[in-house]
Amino acid sequence: MSRIEIKSGIGLPYSVILALNGAFGIEFFVLLEHSTFLAGPAVVLSLFLCGVITMISLFSYCELGASISEVGGEYTFAKVAFGGFTSFLTGWMRWISSIATIALSAAGFAHFFAYFFPANATLVTILLVVIFTFISVRGTKEIDIITVMTFILVFTLLVIMGLPKVLETGGLQNFMSLRTFMPKGIPGVLASIMYSFSMFVGARAVVAGSPQMMNPKKDLPKAILYSIAIITVLYCSVAFIVVGLTPLSQNLTQPLLTYVAENVMGPFGGVLMTVAGLSAALMSLTTTMMVQRSIIRGLSRDGYLPSVIGSSESRVGRYLSVGVGSIIAILLFITGLIVFIGYISGFASLMVFALVNLSLIKLRKKKPRLDRPFKAPLYPYTPIVGAVLSILLILFIERSALLLGLEFIIIAIIIYHLKMVGYHRLRLAVGGVNLGISGITALIAYMFMEGEISLPITEIFGENIPNLIIAVSLIFFISGILNIISRKRREA
């Protein structure tokens, strides 16, 4: 996803470019391999359905973006519609989604970087996040139309040159029967849709520019429709080539798309796809750093977070607005599970989509005379379907990722309660954060003991890691309880 800067009076062609700029990011490069593992050859169907579901929800974005031209995106939509905890939760989950994307982008960069220069992936990732944290504070340069055209060219070239090879090697056999096409059945397809969801959501970036469009009533829905159609066709076509040329049981030592590009175009193809992956990672980092800064400032502006974090005048505030999320992104990465981070990104994005669709329904009833340059078609069916599908897909998330997602919601409840209570805030905040950290570390310990993750510190602490993590969890838990109890004693 690239950074979006809107110029006044833009027309339909440039609006489509903006949507594509937002959509082309590292997610497709990083998440496609596990999506294929979940659905098998039916990943092509999963990506198609994912595009359709995204389109349904983006109709709600179109109407809300054209009607509410204030900074804040999804958070502002929910604030106008619901206010209170619902709006805060929307902004909070959008922030969590951006954190997961930062972790994915940095990890993807390190993965593709190793193609040219073998290096410690953890070190490369941490350095990259730190560097971009500082860069995002000082500002970034615009990524122009050439970026979008380059991605389209690379993917189109892979499909055109790969199709004859799929036919020659008998790759079509994977699609000839239901058993080979859908080896894990409908649950596998649904799980793949949920996991792939974050590949498409970047197209929503164009909604923020609707007030500057010459004719947003016509151009905004067309830009969304055309961009999602282009993305869906490209992603499905590339997935078809990938499935046709890659044995499902093969363990790869390099990025999946790089392997396929080398198979199709030789060493040049591997270099070309690796450069594209590196560019996508940097684009995603650029955009996501800006998104999380905007969200944090909005939440701080409305009193949910300390004012110093949202201050654009304070140097400390500018760094805190991106630094907190960057630290959490690094902590997510050192778990070593890119797949797990992908699930977190999908969970948060689906939550936000469900809340945006509900915001549209609420606003139609709350403000029936609101000026709406564009109205979602087939209302109320489209927002209802979008909200229901988003919630249902969350049920197919990996269990440990779902638990962590629920942890984030619990932390959101605590922070919101802190804002509403209005006294002894610091002590209650410390207690709530400590309880949240305690829950997260307990989850990490559980996942480690179940063999679901491995940690970089294993070689140092050996078999004592579970005990160490449990001890840390208990310390934070006790600290949280003591802080909250102390607050209650003062009230008494």
Which single residue is written with the structure tokens 């070190």?
123
How many whole angstroms separate alpha carbon 76 and alpha carbon 357? Answer: 13
What span, in angstroms and rounded, lies between the C-alpha atoms of 229 and 307? 42
Structural domain spans, the chain:
12-398, 422-492
Give the number of other Cβ atoms within 10 Å of residue 397's Cβ.
20
- Would you say domain 12-398 falls under CATH 3.30.470.10? no
Q: Check: CB of residue 319 under 8 Å from CB of residue 171.
A: no
The full 3-state SS of 189-232, as one line of letters, equals HHHHHHHHHHHCHHHHHHHHHHHHECCHHHHHHHHHHHHHHHHH
Long-range contacts of 327-334 (CB under 8 A, 24+ apart): 328/99, 329/99, 329/100, 329/102, 329/103, 329/106, 329/129, 330/103, 330/125, 330/126, 330/129, 332/99, 332/100, 332/103, 333/103, 333/106, 333/107, 333/122, 333/125, 333/126, 333/129, 334/122, 334/455, 334/456
Q: How far apart are the first and last CA of the chain?
A: 52
CA gap 6, 187 in Å, rounded = 41
Q: Is the peptide bond before 368 cis (omega within 30 degrees of 0)?
A: no
- Residues of the chain with pLDDT below 70 are 1-10, 69-72, 119-122, 124-126, 128-145, 205, 207-212, 216-217, 248-253, 286-287, 290-291, 305-325, 332, 334-337, 418-432, 452-466, 483-492
Local structure of residue 177 (DSSP, 8 states): S
CB 438, CB 476: distance < 8 Å? yes
Predicted pLDDT at 139: 46
CB-based burial, 48-66: b 16+ in 10 Å, e otherwise? bbbbebbbbbbbbbbbbbb
Q: How far apart are CA 162 and CA 245, in angstroms?
A: 8
Please give the Cα distance from 308 to 315 (Å, whole number): 9
**Closest residue by Cα to residue 281 from 453, 160, 137, 143:** 143
Residue from 426, 428, 437 nearest 327 by CA: 437
Q: What is the DSSP letter of 410?
A: H
Q: Give the DSSP letter of residue 10.
A: B
Q: Which long-range contacts (CB under 8 A, 24 or more apart) does 389-392 make?
A: 389/53, 389/56, 390/53, 390/57, 390/350, 390/351, 390/353, 390/354, 390/357, 391/350, 391/354
374 neighbors 216 (Cβ within 8 angstroms): yes
Paired tokens of 102? 């930062």
- Give the C-alpha separation, 336 to 453, whole Å: 7
